[in-house]
Structure 1
Amino acid sequence: MTQLLLYTTAGCHLCEDAQKILETIGCKWSPIEISTDNDLIKHYGIRIPVVGIKGQEEELGWPFSENELKNWLNKITSG
């Protein structure tokens, strides 16, 4: 089973928008709070929200639409 990750931080309105899209398409996901890890802050600090899949390098950064997320997921999970 694919484990989606959402790199996020508290108070991020764009992250809230990304969460709504994930919920709309019925994805199960886990939030990754970047503010507690300096390496995550360095990597994602100005890029969040970012969706990833545990164990895979490719990620989808904001902005993305519902259709773009679906297409990305289909590409990632079918290949």
Structure 2
Amino acid sequence: MHLILYSKPGCHLCEGLQEKLEQVRNPPLELEIRDITTNDDWFAAYQYEVPVLAGVQGEQEKIIPRPSPRASVPQLERMLQKYSGTLS
């Protein structure tokens, strides 16, 4: 599963979500981190929304609802398993 995490430096919610995503084993993830401060379009779209998580299907991105910062890694895995079926 290819995921994109839109993030920005100093965002503690972003860092926490990235840390948990890096621990997810099922489904296997390919995690791409995009710093919104490096792209004007990303910044305009997500400056008030980060962290934003998107799944990639072909050339299309599909935004995945942001998990709670309190979600455990197993809870995050269950949520991603649910969405992985919609990205296949």
Q: Normalised by the shorter chain, which TM-score bucket?
A: 0.7 to 0.9
Structure-2 residue corresponding to 1:30: 32
CA separation of 1:62 and 1:35: change in aligned 2, threshold 3 A: farther
Deviations, residues 31-59 of structure 1 (Å, cap 9, x unaligned)? 01100222211111111111111223232
Is residue 77 of structure 2 the alignment partner of residue 70 of structure 1?
yes
Q: Is the 8 A contact 1:60 1:72 kept in 2?
A: no
Q: Is the 8 A contact 1:7 1:33 kept in 2?
A: yes
Count how many residue pairs are aligned between Structure 1 and Structure 2.
Answer: 77
Structure 2 CA distance for aligned equivalents of residues 39 and 32 of structure 1: 12
Query: Residue type matched to 1:19 in 2?
Result: Q
CA separation of 1:75 and 1:62: change in aligned 2, threshold 3 A: closer
- How big is the alpha-carbon RMSD for the aligned residues of Structure 1 and Structure 2? 1.9
- The CA deviation at 1:17 is 0.3
Deviations, residues 4-26 of structure 1 (Å, cap 9, x unaligned)? 11101122111110111101213
Between 5-14 and 50-59, report the one with greater CA deviation: 50-59
Higher helix content, 1 or 2 = 1
Using structure 2 for the length normalisation, give the TM-score.
0.71
Query: Residue type matched to 1:13 in 2?
Result: H
Higher strand content, 1 or 2 = 2
Give secondary structure in 1 for the equivalent of 2:82. Answer: helix
Mark the runs of 5 or more structure 1 residues left unpaired by the alignment: none
Using structure 1 for the length normalisation, give the TM-score.
0.77
